[in-house]
Amino acid sequence: MIGITSYGAYIPWHRIDRQLFAKAWGGFAIPGERAIASYDEDSVTMAVESAIDCLSDIDTATVDGLLFATTTSPYKEKLCSATMALALHLRRDIQTGDITGSLRSGTTALAFACDAIKAGRTNSMLVTASDTRMAPPSGITEQSLGDSAVALLLGKKNVIAEIIDSYSISDELAATWRSETDTFIRSWEDRMVMDESYSKVMPEVLSGVMNKCGLSPKDFDKVVFDPPGDIRRHGRVAAELGFDPAQLLDPSGIFMNLGLLGSAMSLMMLVSALEQAEPGQKILFAGYGNGADAFVLQVTNAIKKLGGRRGFTKHLESKHMMTNYNDYLRWREIVPLDQARRPDRGHISVAANWRQRKDLLGLWGIKCRRCKTPQYDNGGITTTPIRVCAVCGAVDDFDDYDFSRKKATVFSYTQDQLAPAPDPPSSVVLIDFEDGGRMLFDLTDRNPDEVNVGMKVEMTFRKVFVDRGINNYYWKARPIRC
Amino acid sequence: MSGSIKDRVAIVGMGCTRFGELWNKGPSDLIVDAVTEAVADAGIEVKDIEAAWAGSIFSGHGGRSVSEPLRLKYIPITHVVNACASGHDAVRNASYAVAAGIYDIVLAVGFEKIKDEGMSGLPGMDNATHTHAVATMPGMFAMMATKYFHRYGLSPQEGKTMLAKISVKSHYNGSLNPKAHLRNVLTVERVLNAPIIAWPLGLFDCCGVSDGGAAAIITRADLAKKFRKDPVYIKALQICASPTSGRITTDYDLTHVEEGYRAGVAAYAEAGIKDPRKEISMAEVHDCFSITEAVTMEDLQFSPRGKVKEDIDAGTFELAGALPVQPDGGLKCFGHPIGASGIRMLYELYLQLQGRAGKRQIKNPKLGLAHNMGHEPLAPTVSVCIVGL
């Protein structure tokens, strides 16, 4: 049996009421709110967060591959999944791949992962889909998009939803696109896209996979598939195929609360369906974008044994409403801004980052074999990585120690108004980890007024600095999210 | 450690520029101005200098930074880079060379040109991997204030008022000093109402940002009286560099500076001081931020742990108090041109000991202590120098 063995999701803490877009630009506001990746998040960091959620109770050494699906890769050239693999503590002898440029990249990755396992190439594959798409400011698309990430682990053991079969359609149309130099989405008239692409491709792919499996609409407990840009057309396609509205996973909940999530949209809907699924249920699932990929899934008894995850539901509820649209413009670097009168930051050294890749991306510290003290030094002049124990002086007599999944308590903090910060003040915390070790970190996704000595925090993977196109990924502390 | 510097060398000449935003002066001006005054004060000529030690961290590079502006002819010059203790460390190395009998007349000069940066604060000091938390120096020291308030149960208002009194005291002293950068008199209310820089520290909890230079001519103790009748003798020179475990292990309390305490203990032992609070006549300490001065009073054993507030409230450290601190106005009013600060502190102690401090003159001082704290509270390098008649 091959199928989904675990799921996870990530939704940014920050949401914005769509009224704020209309307030800034005039015109019409779509009802509801959308998810906004913070200034220190991108599709890579969100994918890592969703994968951490997915792997929360799973031994990372059992994962044989990682696929990163996105239309918003921070790099045109450089593998993001290689960065993510270090953050997720995956092995080195695994298949990593980025599947980019398509809104359907999430389901494409799912199909490839499934095939790799079926072919015996791997035993398990982690599929992540994450997007932070941008539309030109002031348009309606800016309001309708949302930022989020999803992770699915595929494998043969402890399958919670078997993938019975799949079917794909390829379809050529420039419905939405970004060229090599475009920052913002361009699109063709949505009425034509609807008539000639979505309303033909989606029925075709759903019917195709049902025919392949000898199933009909009544055989499914849940039908989960990508909505088009105008989500009202989603239900029409389902009705025309003969599905009852009760079978349908309505995308309007995600749309109204988060927005259209790009490559993560269909997979987020699937996670939402799996969170409520019962053993034995059949799910018809499809992702759309220049064609479509459809899957038939069957939920197993193992779904009842899967441990708790933040997933879709808990992340959805944990949120912070942004108070203005300007912060969105600042965080996405859409408008040039006055720079703080602070020193220019020096260049990133690729060599130094490479040398410390395990410590920096994986937040691996050490535990002294002699005095048993967990340690990590992220602020020293010449002390990273630790070669000499700060307590007993032992040299290189250490075991690896994972700080990334440890919780910690704020020992002291400041709210720095002088430090340059896209979300001032710069909240900095000195934290004591639950089983030992102290570190200084930026605190993100926080309300400055709620930061206190004794506050509980957890670690989150973030983008801390960009230099010459190199994204410096590292860890920050955040108040325990949910 | 078997040796001691006590009474083996003396300072016979000192110079110090006015500190401030010296737009019209470059690093070479600061060096020439400070050294010219020091040489004249010692009654020597520049050509009499046999060796020199220069302290700076941003300005200058190597010994040539000093030989070039002064046109020092073919003598050995060492550039000392040791964070905020650079000035004191230049004096320390110069003193050791004299005490070793290698040279008779040497120069220690500290200088820093900060205000060519086009911004407030110090130039950047990122690590290669850019993983430092984004905190400024005010932010790093603010965490100490947060913890001090928390540990000793001070409300933000109580804690900030305690710190405000430190700044008010220093500004009063600075107002009497023509070489100080900031010479305005403050009130506690004004300090408390100032904008926050890094919570809980406000604008007036932070020292100024200034350019400046200071210099000392050092000779053997047995030669000192040939230069002047009132040489000032070195009693102790100690530096304590942090192993930086305060940021790594959970046992450091962040309400004291272990390196400051240990540098003080070592200096008192070297100078033969048993009761610092009684024996030290005055102190110039590293008040980069008000909280630093507060904690330093406890580290140097002037006040019991957690009790500095009582001494601040009692006026102990005011100019007319039992143990005047920052008689010249401190970093608070002079700003902190890094390499210059340690020698600027010694300049004030030197003037006070010689009875030349004008309106700031402390009655009959015998021993003065200068203290610098480099880097930040979690990983400092602290110097303590004691000088006396």
- For chain A, the average pLDDT equals 95
- State pLDDT tens for residues B4-46: 999 999 999 999 999 999 999 999 999 999 999 999 999 999 9
Residue A212 lies in a domain: yes
Domain boundaries, chain B: 9-112
Q: Quick one: A247 and A376 in the same domain?
A: no
**Does position A383 have pLDDT exceeding 60, yes or no?**
no
Does the CB of A360 have a partner CB in chain B at under 8 Å? yes
Tell me whether B262 touches chain A (CB under 8 Å).
no
Token pair of A445 as six digits? 């996704």
d(CA B159, CA A183): 49
Query: What's the pLDDT at B126?
Result: 67
B359, pLDDT greater than 80: yes
Confidence of residue B129 (pLDDT cuts 50, 70, 90): confident
Cβ atoms of B133 and A421 within 8 Å: the answer is no
Percentage of residues of chain A with pLDDT beyond 90: 93
Q: How large is the ipTM?
A: 0.93
Is the model's pLDDT at B342 over the cut of 70? yes
* The residue count for chain B: 389
Residues A40 and A120 in one domain: yes
Residue A341: the pLDDT is 80
pLDDT of A381 over the 70 cut: no
The token pair at B133 is 């938390």
Interface test with A, best of B122, B136, B203, B248 (most A CBs within 10 A): B248
What is the predicted pLDDT for the residue at B121?
81
- Where residue A43 falls among pLDDT bands split at 50, 70, 90? very high
User: What is the rounded average pLDDT of the residues A262-277?
Assistant: 98
Domain end (from A299, A331, A363): A331
Q: Which of A341, A377, A426 sits opposite B139 (nearest CB)?
A: A426
Residue B78, pLDDT score: 98
Q: Is residue A118 part of a domain?
A: yes
Q: Given A331, A360, A395, which residue is the final one in a domain?
A: A331
In a domain, A344, yes or no: no
pLDDT at A188: 94
**Residue B167 pLDDT class (50, 70, 90 cuts):** very high
The residues in A 386-425 lying below 8 A from B, measured between CB atoms, are 386, 390-391, 411-421, 425
The DSSP call for residue B132 is S
CATH number for position A247: 3.40.47.10
Rounded Cα distance, B329 and B177, in Å: 7
Alpha helices in chain B (DSSP H): 27-42, 64-70, 86-99, 137-151, 156-175, 188-193, 221-227, 258-271, 276-279, 290-299, 308-314, 330-334, 338-353
Residues A314 and A363 in one domain: no
Whether residue A338 lies inside any domain: the answer is no
Both A312 and A362 in a single domain?
A: no
- How many CB atoms sit inside 10 A of residue B157's CB? 11
Check pLDDT > 70 for residue A129. Answer: yes
What percent helix, strand, coil does chain A show, rounded to 5?
Answer: 30, 30, 40
Using a CB-CB cut-off of 8 Å, the residues of chain B touching A474 are 129-131
Tell me: do A144 and A203 sit in the same domain: yes
Whether A158 has its CB under 8 Å from any CB of chain B: the answer is no
Q: Are residues A220 and A364 in the same domain?
A: no
Per-residue pLDDT tens for B179-219?
999 999 999 999 999 999 999 999 999 999 999 999 999 99
Question: Does residue A431 sit at the B interface (CB-CB below 8 Å)?
Answer: no
Active site residue B84: yes
Q: Does A118 touch chain B (CB under 8 A)?
A: no
pLDDT in tens, A206-228: 999 999 999 999 999 999 999 99
Contacts of residue B142 in chain A, CB cutoff 8 Å?
Answer: 414, 416
Examine the domain organization and report whether A244 and A302 are in the same domain.
Answer: yes
Domain membership of residue A314 (yes or no) is yes
The reply to whether A192 and A127 lie within a common domain is yes
Is there a catalytic annotation at residue B371? no
In the numeric block, which tokens belong to residue B364? 């009959």
Cβ neighbours of residue A314 under 8 Å, at least 6 residues apart?
A482
What per-residue confidence (pLDDT) applies to A462?
Answer: 98
The amino acid occupying position B26 is G
Interchain CB contact of A56 with B (< 8 Å):
no
Is position A99 within any domain?
yes
pLDDT at A382: 57
Q: Which residues of chain B are within 8 Å of residue A383 when distances are taken between CB atoms?
A: 244
Q: What is the pLDDT of residue A219?
A: 98
Instruction: Give per-residue pLDDT as tens, A325-361.
Output: 999 999 999 998 888 788 878 888 899 899 999 999 9
Catalytic residue (one of B16, B84, B240, B333): B84
Answer yes or no: do A172 and A314 share one domain.
Answer: yes
* CA-to-CA separations, A30 to A194, A231, A255, B242, B359, in angstroms, rounded: 20, 12, 10, 57, 71
Query: B121–A346: do the CB atoms touch at under 8 Å?
Result: no
What tens digit of pLDDT does each residue of A164-213 get? 999 999 999 999 999 999 999 999 999 999 999 999 999 999 999 999 99
d(CA B108, CA B94): 6
**CB of B151 within 8 Å of any CB in chain A?**
no
A chain contacts of residue B254, beta-carbon cutoff 8 Å: 411-412, 430
User: Are A308 and A383 contained in the same domain?
Assistant: no
Q: In total, how many domains does chain A have?
A: 2
Written as six digits, the tokens of A231 are: 């989500």
Residue B269 has pLDDT above 70, yes or no: yes
Q: In terms of residue numbers, what domain contains A471?
A: 350-479
Same domain flag for A394 and A421: yes
Is residue A7 in some structural domain? yes
Distance CA A6, CA A311 (A): 10
Q: What is the pLDDT of residues A287-327, one digit of tens each?
A: 999 999 999 999 999 999 999 999 999 999 999 999 999 99
The reply to whether A343 falls in a domain is no
Q: B9-112: what fold?
A: Peroxisomal Thiolase; Chain A, domain 1 (3.40.47)
The predicted pLDDT at position B215 comes to 98
Nearest-angstrom CA–CA distance, B329 and B344: 11
Q: Which of B256, B336, B371, B375 is catalytic?
A: B336
What pLDDT, in 10s, does the model give residues A94-103? Answer: 999 999 999 9
pLDDT (average), residues A149-170: 98
Terminal Cα-to-Cα distance of chain A (whole angstroms):
33
Domain boundary among A303, A331, A359: A331
Q: Say whether both A176 and A88 belong to one domain.
A: yes
